[in-house]
A and B are shown apart, each in its own frame.
Chain A
Amino acid sequence: GAGVSQSPSNKVTEKGKDVELRCDPISGHTALYWYRQSLGQGLEFLIYFQGNSAPDKSGLPSDRFSAERTGGSVSTLTIQRTQQEDSAVYLCASSRTGGNYGYTFGSGTRLTVV
């Protein structure tokens, strides 16, 4: 597509429920990133996919967080047993090769855990 697409744009969930956030990167971009942005804060790195390589999961805050990328394209970030501190905007970005060519962000999913 023309840009990075994320869905849903907003998600309200009850504490303890699981949620899935979707990212559709720019066609042909081999690198895909998930970041989290809490209110008034910078972007916190979560996970990085590059082609068929094993993802870099070093930013995932707990084992409740996981992500997959199917067919080198669409990615899903899953948060199990959501907690209130998970409330944030989850941003996805893609890049042509993952090597210093700029990163295009989606508009994010605003997650609110009540």
Chain B
Amino acid sequence: GESVGLHLPTLSVQEGDNSIINCAYSNSASDYFIWYKQESGKGPQFIIDIRSNMDKRQGQRVTVLLNKTVKHLSLQIAATQPGDSAVYFCAEDHGGSYIPTFGRGTSLIVHP
């Protein structure tokens, strides 16, 4: 999950396992949430989004869960592959601001 430490939180998994990346957000007014994947040397790539009127949304091999009560967001990746190795960021969009705020990211390392 997110951390205020100097180093990115890291999640190491074996190929084929399911991965869960967590994110806590702070603004109860946030109504739109996005997960991004960033590979080394590249810009962030959109994975999946969810609006605050939902608590779960599924994509291809990915599921985002939103718990507004505790202001928590998670990204689940099924059958993780080496190509999933990257830094994953959650972003929240405050209602009406249209300026997404990003967390520090979690580094996912997938071992073959």
Contact = CB atoms under 8 A, between A and B. Distances in A.
B43 A107 contact: yes
Given A40-B7, A42-B89, A43-B89, A102 B101 contact: no
A45 B99 contact: yes
Contacts, number: 54
Contacts of A56: 99
Contacts of B99: 33, 45, 48, 56
A98 interface: yes
B7 to A, nearest CB: 7
A100 B32 contact: yes
A25 interface: no
Interface residues on B, range: 20 to 34
Contact of A91 (B8, B44, B91): B44
Nearest to A103: B100
Interface stretch (B14-22, B59-67, B73-81, B102-110): B102-110
Given A100-B32, A100-B93, A102-B34, A43 B49 contact: no
Interface string A38-55: 001111010010100000
Contact of B31 (A31, A35, A41, A100): A100
Interface in A1-54: 4, 6, 31, 33, 35, 40-43, 45, 48, 50
Interface residues on A, range: 20 to 34
A65 interface: no
A104 B7 CA distance: 26
B32 A105 contact: no
Nearest to B45: A105
Nearest to A35: B102
A102 B46 contact: yes
7 contacts: A35-B102, A91-B44, A93-B43, A105-B45, A107-B41, A107-B43, A108-B43
Given A45-B101, A50-B98, 8 more contacts: A40-B6, A42-B102, A48-B98, A91-B43, A98-B98, A102-B34, A102-B46, A106-B43
